[in-house]
Amino acid sequence: MAIFGRRLFGKLLAPGEIIDVLMVGGTWHPNGDAITAAFAEVLDPRRFVVRIVPYPADYGRHVAFADSVATGRRALIEAAEATPNRILLAGYSQGAGIAGDLAADIGNGLFPHLEVVACALIADPLRPAGRCLGKDPGGYGVIGQRNISGIPAYWVAAAGDPITALPAGNPLRLIADLSAYFSVSGPDAMVRWGRSIIEVATRRQLQRWWSPANWRTWGGAIAYARGYLFDGRHTTDYIRHGHARLLAEAINREVVVGVR
């Protein structure tokens, strides 16, 4: 099926002999990116076949973030249902949010027909505090925290990356709270965004970054924004500092699947 996208690495073996790594790329990269490639190329090709799952990967240019995520989720489920092999869910940034959410749902008993052995998440915007291979950079995902149980889950997070390692009291959380339906695609889209802001506010769904309990971490918004926009904290650091490699090595070492 076209939903699998292109096969990047590994030799396709008979059903049951390999694990399909269904990889969801980051924002603006619907067909994968340098970070997902750096992770994929370290995986053992005798056991893992990486397949990119295409989706809009947008954040308001043409498709609102929430709609991009919903489409990515449907694409990932379709890809998982189409393979006869065991599955490892993987993703980077927006794609990590999609893959992690599906893994959490499967761990909670949804989609019992899908045989998911683990998930591997790079720069997850919903990374829970303290869950990280290597040195913990502190903080947690810019959107919030999402636990995954029932499925082995592995995270990597770069220091200073506001998408996955943002302090609890950083005001950048407000952007994530209010931009899910942001889109400049037309007047109707802008009206929809405005209505979504009102709904989030009236339902008290805003993260309490301003809480006095978080006063020690109120500062630093400019530094974290610069890290995202200019300093590579959310991009090149995952290759430069070996985070993508560390994650792949952990998968090679720990994801061992026996005979069905």
Q: What is the pLDDT of residues 218-235, one digit of tens each?
A: 457 667 777 777 889 999
> Are 160 and 54 part of one and the same domain?
yes
Q: Is 260 among the domain residues? A: no
> Are 213 and 154 part of one and the same domain?
no
> Are 155 and 216 part of one and the same domain?
no
Q: Is 113 among the domain residues? A: yes
86 to each of 35, 50, 154, 203, how far by Cα in Å? Answer: 23, 12, 17, 40
> Are 106 and 130 part of one and the same domain?
yes
Q: Is 259 among the domain residues? A: no
Q: Is 141 among the domain residues? A: yes
pLDDT averaged over every residue in the chain: 81
> Are 249 and 153 part of one and the same domain?
yes
> Are 86 and 154 part of one and the same domain?
yes
123: exposed, middle or buried (Cβ count in 10 Å: 0-12, 13-18, 19+): buried
Distance CA 260, CA 249 (A): 24
The pLDDT assigned to 162 comes to 87
pTM: 0.83
pLDDT above 70: residue 65:
yes
Q: Is 241 among the domain residues? A: yes
> Are 111 and 48 part of one and the same domain?
yes
> Are 70 and 141 part of one and the same domain?
yes
Distance CA 148, CA 106 (A): 9
H or E stretch covering 226: helix 221-229
- Name the 3-class secondary structure at 122: strand
The pLDDT assigned to 194 comes to 45
Instruction: Give pLDDT tens digits for 158-194.
Output: 999 989 998 987 777 766 654 443 343 454 544 343 4
Range of the domain at 204: 173-226
Q: What's the CATH number where 38 sits?
A: 3.40.50.1820
> Are 208 and 129 part of one and the same domain?
no
Categorize the per-residue pLDDT at 143 as very low, low, confident or very high, splitting at 50, 70 and 90: confident
For helices 94-107 and 65-82, what crossing angle results, to 10°?
A: 50
For residue 140, list its beta bridge partners: 166
> Are 90 and 192 part of one and the same domain?
no
The structural domain count of the chain equals 2
Q: Which amino acid appears at position 32 of this protein?
A: G
Query: Which residue reads 């379709």 in tokens?
Result: 78
Q: Spell 32-68 as b/e; 16+ CB within 10 A means b.
A: bbebbbbbbebbeeebbbbbbbbbbbbbbeebbbbbb
Categorize the per-residue pLDDT at 3 as very low, low, confident or very high, splitting at 50, 70 and 90: very low
The pLDDT assigned to 219 comes to 57
Categorize the per-residue pLDDT at 211 as very low, low, confident or very high, splitting at 50, 70 and 90: low
Categorize the per-residue pLDDT at 63 as very low, low, confident or very high, splitting at 50, 70 and 90: confident
> Are 178 and 151 part of one and the same domain?
no
227: exposed, middle or buried (Cβ count in 10 Å: 0-12, 13-18, 19+): buried
